[in-house]
Amino acid sequence: MNSIPTLREYYHKVGLDDEAIFHLNRELKIHSFTNLTHEVHETRIRSLHQAKSDLWSHGPELTSDEISADLELNYDNMSGWARHITPIYKIEEFVIGAARPGKEAATDYAKIKHYHHCSCDQCKSGNRVQGVNNPHDMFPYISKNNILLSAKRRELASGRTKVTPWTFEHIFSLLEEVNTTEQTAFALEILGSIMVRLAFMLDHKFDKEENLFLSLPTFATSEMSKRIPFIGKEGFEIPTASLIYFLDILGYNEDVKVDVCGYRNLRREYSAGPRPQDNGRTNTLLTISHMLAAVLHRRPIGEFAYGLFRGLGMNPMSKGTIHPAFPLLSANLEHILDEKITLLHWSP
C-alpha cells in the first residue's frame, strides 16, 4: 500500500524541484484574503468603467433576432457578423475578444430587473426597476481565422448545425475531460490558482493609455501549458491560456451585469454605508476555481454541486478553503510543504 505523500513529494513527483516550487509560489502567492475585496475594489471600478466605455465598441443597435443570426449564419465566418468585433488578446493565430452588442443589449430585450435591495432612487421609492436591457452587455469569444471556437456545435437531424455559446457546463466539461494524469491534474492546479488571482484582478496592469489588461504570470503559465497545451474537441482545440483570457473578458462582463442590476460601482448599500461586493467577476471566477478544486478532489463534489444548485449557478469558493486546495497561493508554503496532503483535505 502506497504511503501518503507530503506536499513536497507530490510536487517532486510531477517534475518540480524546490527551486521551481518556490518560483511558482513567488508568482502566485496571495498574502491574505482578509480585506482583499476592499483592497482591489478601486481596480475593479477602473475595469468596470473601462468595460462600459467605448474602448471596446458597443456596435450598432440590433434586435435579438439580428444578434442570434450572427451565430446561426456566420459562426464559421465572423467577418460577416452585424455586431462589432473587438480583438483584445492574441495567442499566435487565436484571437480572444468581445463582440457587441451582447444578447442582453438587444433593443427588444426586457428581462432585467434590479435587485430587491437596490438603492437607486426608483427602487427606493418602491417602484422597482424591471423590464429593461443591459446596454453594455458583450459576447466574449475565441476565434481562429474568423471561425468561432468558443461554442459547442451539434448536428441536428434536419442537417442544420446548432451552435451554442459556451456556458459554465461547457467550460466545466472542457476542463474535466483533460484531467487524466497526475501531470494534467497539476496543470489544473496551476489553472485554479491563476483563476483565483484573476477573480481579484491581481495580474492586471495598466498600459500607456491607462487601460487595464491581463498579464499572466509567465512561469506558472508555462508550467501549465507544457502539461496541457490545448483543450477542446478535435478540430476546435484552443491554447489552454486562451481560456484564461476568455474568462477575463467574461469577468468584465459579469461586473457590468451586477452594476446594471443594482450593485452600482460594485457596492451594496447597508445601514452603515456602501460596501464593496464580490458579486460579478470575483464570484463567477471563484466558482470556476471551486469546480477545479472539486474535480481535483480537494473539495467535496457534493458540496460544490449542491451549492451550485442553491446559488442558481454560482458557488464561489470560500476564502478560507482556497489556500489548502491551491497551496501555491499560500504565503506560508514552506511551513506546509512537508505535511501529508491529506492534512490539506486532499484525497490521497
- Residue ranges covered by each domain of the chain: 7-344
For 242, phi then psi, to 5°, come to: -65, -30
Instruction: Quick: pLDDT tens for 73-131.
Output: 999 999 999 999 999 999 999 999 999 999 999 999 999 999 999 989 999 899 999 99
345: left (phi over 0), alpha (psi -120 to 50) or beta: left
CB distance 45 to 53 below 8 Å: no
pTM of the entire predicted model? 0.96
Instruction: Quick: pLDDT tens for 155-213.
Output: 888 888 899 999 999 999 999 999 999 999 999 999 999 999 999 999 999 999 999 99
- Whether 1 has a pLDDT exceeding 50, the answer reads no
Q: Other CB atoms closer than 10 Å to residue 279's CB: what's the count? A: 22
What pLDDT sits at residue 266? 96
For every residue of 249-275, DSSP letters joined together read HHHHHHHHHHHHHT-GGGEEEETTEEE
For every residue of 43-112, DSSP letters joined together read HHHHHHHHHHSSSS-------HHHHHHHHHHHTT-GGG-SSEEEEEEEETTEEEEEEES-GGGSTT---E
What pLDDT sits at residue 2? 65
Which pairs count as long-range contacts for 7-13, CB under 8 Å and 24+ apart, including other chains?
A: 7/327, 7/336, 7/337, 7/338, 7/339, 7/341, 7/344, 8/337, 8/338, 10/341, 11/186, 11/337, 13/182
Mean pLDDT of the chain: 95
Instruction: Quick: pLDDT tens for 11-26.
Output: 999 999 999 999 999 9
Please calculate the CA angle 148-151-156 and round it to the nearest 5 degrees. Answer: 110
